[in-house]
Amino acid sequence: KKVLLQVKNLQKFFYMGKKKTLKAVDGISFDVYKGETFGLVGESGCGKSTTGRTIIGLYSKTSGNVVFDGKDVHALNEKEQFSFHKNMQMIFQDPYASLNPRSTVKEIISEPMEVHGIYRTSKERTARVYQLLEDVGLNREHANRYPHEFSGGQRQRIGIARALALDPDFIIADEPISALDVSVQAQVVNLMKRLQKEKGLTYLFIAHDLSMVKHISDRIGVMYLGRMMELTESKSLYKKPLHPYTQALLSAIPIPDPDVEDKRERQIVKGEIPSPINPPSGCVFRTRCPHAMEACSKSVPQWQEVESKHYVACHLYNESIVGADKAKELVA
Ligand code: SF4
Ligand code: MG
| ipTM greater than 0.95 | yes
Three-state DSSP class for residue 118: coil
Nearest to 314 by CA among 282, 277, 287: 282
The arrangement of secondary structure in 3-256, i.e. its CATH architecture, is 3-Layer(aba) Sandwich (3.40)
Instruction: Kindly report the backbone phi and psi dihedral angles of residue 283, in degrees, each rounded to the nearest multiple of 5, phi listed first.
Output: -80, 125
Nearest to 205 by CA among 7, 49, 8: 49
Nearest to 302 by CA among 289, 290, 317: 317
Among 249, 269, 315, say which to mutate for ligand 1: greatest number of ligand atoms within 8 Å of CB. Answer: 315
Measured from the Cα of 229, ligand 1's closest atom is 6
What does the pLDDT read at residue 252?
76
Q: Which ligand is nearest to the CA of 286?
A: 1
In short, whether 244's Cβ falls inside 6 Å of ligand 1 is: yes
Nearest to 68 by CA among 41, 33, 40, 39: 33
Three-state DSSP class for residue 261: coil
Q: Which ligand is nearest to the CA of 299?
A: 1
What does the pLDDT read at residue 58?
94
In short, whether 330's Cβ falls inside 6 Å of ligand 1 is: no
What does the pLDDT read at residue 259?
53
Three-state DSSP class for residue 313: strand
Q: Using the 8-state DSSP alphabet, how is residue 147 labeled?
A: G
Give the integer Cα–Cα distance in Å for 303 and 194.
34
What does the pLDDT read at residue 123?
94
pTM of the predicted model as reported, rounded to 2 decimal places: 0.94
Are 34 and 5 contacting, i.e. CB atoms less than 8 angstroms apart? Answer: no
134-182 pLDDT, tens digit per residue, is 999 999 999 999 999 999 999 999 999 999 999 999 999 999 999 899 8
In short, whether 301's Cβ falls inside 6 Å of ligand 1 is: yes
Three-state DSSP class for residue 298: helix
Are 68 and 170 contacting, i.e. CB atoms less than 8 angstroms apart? Answer: yes
What does the pLDDT read at residue 268?
58
Give the integer Cα–Cα distance in Å for 319 and 302.
12
CA 82 to chain centre: 23
In short, whether 314's Cβ falls inside 6 Å of ligand 1 is: yes
Regions of the chain where pLDDT drops below 70: 254-268
